[in-house]
């Protein structure tokens, strides 16, 4: 996991370094960094929003099938697959953007956790020497072993004399490192209900950050919950049973668990982490509001219909091209292809239609290599053999 986080973290680290060089303020750099990463993820957010809205409109049709074929699971499965194909829906389409986002999020956390690597740009040897010294001060802290760099910054700022054996440039850069929010909240400090220096303004500001993180997460979750209910109501989905009920139950749990989890984690980490989560949740909330304004149910319905027409048109062209291939091969062998025996892309070879070159606007096949032609011939022969075996009740083994 560390290897993955470093690979993704280093490019993002250059972004954070650049933003800090412009702002000379760690808090402001984190805010701008959050905006930049959200922009990077925006295409995926668009895709996910479209898939979610389309699935909400698609769900009522799915529910009707489940009621109609409640006592026939096999038929239900066939009709579901047919409906997915007709509507051009992919049941996993809304999950793909989340899977793509996950590695990027790992890199984002690596950047926030390691300011000395990504902003101070110190060597690994110097960081290791500083870690050994800082361990004498904060080695008992819960997260020092896995996230030591934020503690090193704090140690150098509070006890610079302990690091006199390290390069002067390193100590000076960390001493000058501006990691204060609003000028008085040290983002390297861990929020505490029992601050060592008493309830100063800085201590109050520190302890507020985890709760602001939880409040921002709650705002985002409540908005998603309300939005989901409206979409289901507009689509006519029945939330009393089936997957809709499970989804709503999950969102009810998230409504309270995620904000509480954010508060719990942010209290145990240096304030920079809680501040990043707060910025991320607030920007994510604003992004969701904007995307919901764009992807209205009416607009999504138009997009889905447009995609369906494109797929149908492409399928027709592919079938025309494939039939043309069969005719060419039949003419080459001095035979003909009966109408009822023609194999279309929408049939058994559907999963392999990407092997075919794209046809032109008239449906004529594109250029094909000899190896590809032999592959198509092999598929045609195997399909013909399969149909012949089915007709006479013989066993069939693909060549």
Burial of 338 (0-12, 13-18, 19+ CB in 10 A): exposed
Please check the confidence at residue 236 and state whether its pLDDT lies above 70. Answer: no
What's the CA gap between 68 and 62, in Å, rounded? 10
Stretch 10-33: mean pLDDT: 90
Under the phi-then-psi rule, with left for phi > 0, alpha for psi from -120 to 50, and beta for the rest, what region is 186?
beta
Task: Say if residue 296's pLDDT is above 90.
Answer: no
Residue 218, token pair as written in the block: 């709650």
The tokens describing 189, both together, are 């400090």
CA dist., res. 174 & res. 156, Å (int): 7
Which region among 38-52, 122-136, 200-214, 324-338 has the lowest average model confidence (pLDDT)? 324-338
Looking at the chain, the number of H-run helices and the number of E-run strands are: 14, 2
pLDDT of residue 98: 61
**169 SS3 class:** helix
- Gap between the Cα atoms of 22 and 16, Å rounded: 10
Q: What is the pLDDT of residue 227?
A: 75
* CB of 111 closer than 8 Å to CB of 9: yes
Confidence at residue 110, expressed as pLDDT on a 0 to 100 scale? 83
What whole-number distance in Å separates Cα of residue 223 and Cα of residue 239? 18
pLDDT (0 to 100) of residue 235: 53
pLDDT at 357 over 70: no
pTM beyond 0.85, yes or no: no
Sign of CA pseudo-dihedral 83, 87, 92, 94: negative
Reported as a pLDDT band with limits 50, 70 and 90, residue 241 is very low
Task: Say if residues 32 and 20 touch (Cβ distance below 8 Å).
Answer: no
Is residue 270 a contact partner of residue 189, using CB atoms and an 8 Å limit?
yes
Lowest mean pLDDT among 30-44, 65-79, 195-209, 302-316: 302-316
Which range has the worst mean pLDDT, 66-80, 90-104, 263-277, 331-345? 331-345
pLDDT tens, residue by residue, 375-398: 776 776 777 677 666 666 666 566
Q: Which residues contact 318 (CB under 8 A, 6 or more apart)?
A: 345, 353, 356, 359
* Dist. CA 337–CA 123, nearest whole Å: 71
Percentage of residues of the chain with pLDDT beyond 70: 64
Q: What is the pLDDT of residues 77-95, one digit of tens each?
A: 877 777 777 666 666 655 6
Integer Cα distance of 354 and 366 in angstroms = 13
């Amino acid at each position: 996991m560390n290897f993955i986080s470093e690979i993704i973290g280093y490019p993002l680290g250059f972004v954070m370094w650049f933003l800090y060089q412009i702002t000379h303020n760690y808090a402001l750099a984190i805010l701008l960094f959050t905006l930049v990463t959200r922009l990077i993820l925006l295409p995926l957010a668009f895709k996910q929003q479209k898939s979610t809205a389309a699935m909400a409109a698609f769900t009522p049709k799915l529910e009707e099938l489940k009621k109609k074929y409640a006592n026939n699971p096999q038929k239900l499965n066939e009709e579901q697959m047919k409906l997915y194909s007709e509507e051009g829906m992919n049941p996993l389409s809304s999950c793909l953007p989340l899977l793509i986002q996950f590695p990027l999020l790992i890199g984002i956390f690596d950047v926030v956790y390691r300011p000395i690597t990504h902003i101070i740009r110190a060597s690994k040897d110097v960081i290791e020497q500083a870690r050994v010294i800082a361990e004498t001060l904060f080695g008992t802290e819960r997260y020092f072993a896995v996230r030591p760099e934020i503690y090193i910054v704090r140690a150098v700022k509070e006890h610079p004399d302990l690091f006199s054996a390290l390069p002067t440039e390193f100590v000076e850069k960390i001493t000058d490192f501006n990691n204060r929010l609003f000028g008085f909240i040290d983002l390297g400090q861990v929020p505490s209900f029992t601050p060592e220096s008493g309830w100063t303004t800085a201590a109050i500001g520190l302890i507020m950050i985890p709760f602001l993180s939880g409040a921002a997460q709650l705002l985002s979750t409540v908005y998603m919950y309300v939005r989901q209910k409206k979409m289901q109501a507009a689509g006519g989905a029945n939330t009393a049973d089936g997957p809709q009920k499970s989804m709503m139950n999950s969102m009810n749990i998230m409504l309270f668990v995620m904000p509480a989890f954010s508060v719990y984690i942010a209290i145990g980490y240096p304030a920079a982490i809680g501040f990043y989560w707060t910025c991320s949740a607030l920007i994510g909330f604003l992004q969701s509001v904007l995307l919901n304004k764009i992807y209205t149910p009416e607009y999504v319905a138009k997009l889905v219909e447009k995609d369906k027409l494109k797929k149908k048109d492409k399928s027709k062209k592919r079938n025309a091209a494939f039939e043309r291939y069969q005719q060419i091969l039949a003419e080459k062998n001095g035979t003909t292809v009966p109408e009822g025996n023609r194999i279309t892309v929408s049939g058994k070879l559907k999963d392999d239609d990407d092997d075919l070159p794209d046809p032109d606007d008239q449906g004529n096949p594109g250029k094909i290599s000899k190896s590809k032609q032999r592959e198509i011939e092999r598929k045609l022969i195997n399909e013909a053999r399969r149909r012949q075996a089915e007709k006479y009740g013989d066993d069939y083994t693909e060549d």
